[in-house]
A = this chain, B = another copy of it.
């Protein structure tokens, strides 16, 4: 089977459940942006290599979970295939909170905005963080017109905080000092 089916050439595509919508539908925009955030995490992993086994494993977990999230967003409430699906739930969000708490112990205390960057993997984690936040905004936009699983939104909210914390831990471990914002008014 070819990967290109040509069925989307006129601008429509399928949700999970065979229903057709325009590719500019807010639902497609939402899971498409989750896919983009996932790819940015892939960039971070590529830059991290095998250096930090715990972070590496947790990023792999996140990538997998983002497909769960993508499937959740691709499946309309009440749609025909909904029963095939396990939606995001409170325990998924708690898993992220436990990760944030654990890595937060290792990160420096947060006392103001820091320049995104440092080690290449940290820089990519910051980029992923901002794309995850864009995905969150797209899910909020989707909520204006369609029912959305509230745990999916909470997951994305926590995700960007975890990526932020991971970026800081990578920099700390790799010896990159944080640069802090010097507010214009105080310079």
Contacts and interface: CB of A to CB of B under 8 A. Distances in A.
Interface of A: 2-4, 6, 8-11, 22-24, 28-29, 32-33, 35-36, 38-43, 45-47, 60, 63-65, 67-68, 71, 84-86, 97, 100-101, 104, 110, 113, 115-120, 122-124, 126-127, 129-131, 133-134, 136-141, 143-144, 150, 153-154, 157-158, 161, 164-165, 179, 181-185
A36 B37 CA distance: 12
Number of copies: 3
B116 A150 contact: no
A106 to B, nearest CB: 13
If over half of A's interface residues share one DSSP class (helix, strand or loop), that class is named, otherwise mixed; here it is: helix
A23 B137 contact: yes
Contacts of A138: 24
A40 to B, nearest CB: 6
